[in-house]
Amino acid sequence: MALIDAVKFDGKGLVTAVAQDFETNQVLMVAYMNRDTLAETLSSGDMVYWSRSRQKRWKKGETSGHVQKVREAYIDCDGDALLFRIDQSVAACHENYFSCFFRQNVGGEWKVVAEKME
């Protein structure tokens, strides 16, 4: 597939994927895809990652229901990062925050600056 041929996977066969909420523009999470889960993401329209810790396919929301639907996909200049603008169901973070980036540097400390989703 021409789209995937442009991707420069790293030594472990992975590419960095950034998920950004289509509606709010919030950056939700950073994770990784291998060739197969990228192909599945592009063909299915659902975000499917590769879990580095569990070393297995990880369809976002498969157990939680917090799926991510692809609206737009971008590749960066050197082909080693992808940006997906998505529709996020409920929350991206497993800690139930909308974004995994819920801690901000406030006066030299990481402070929680978001509220958990219901």
Please report whether residue 118 would count as binding a copy of itself according to CB under 8 A: no
Binding flag, residue 110, a copy of itself (CB under 8 A): yes
Q: Which of 23, 36, 72, 87 binds a copy of itself (CB under 8 A)?
A: 72
Using the minimum distance from each CB to a copy of itself, give the nearer residue, 59 or 71: 71
- Reference 47, options 81, 95, 84; nearest CA is 84
Among 69, 83, 89, 117, binds a copy of itself (CB under 8 A): 83
Asked if residue 90 binds a copy of itself (CB under 8 A), the reply is no
Token code pair at residue 2: 């021409």
Residue in 102, 101, 72 with CA at minimum distance from that of residue 87? 72
β-bridge pairing 27-33 and 81-88: unpaired
Does position 13 bind a copy of itself by CB under 8 A?
A: no
Taking alpha carbons only, the member of 18, 100, 104 closest to residue 117 is: 100
Burial label for 5, CB within 10 Å (0-12, 13-18, 19+), is exposed
Does position 63 interact with a copy of itself (CB under 8 A)? The reply is no
Residues binding a copy of itself (CB under 8 A): 1-3, 6, 16, 18, 20, 25, 27, 29-30, 42, 72-78, 81, 83, 93-95, 97, 100-105, 108-110
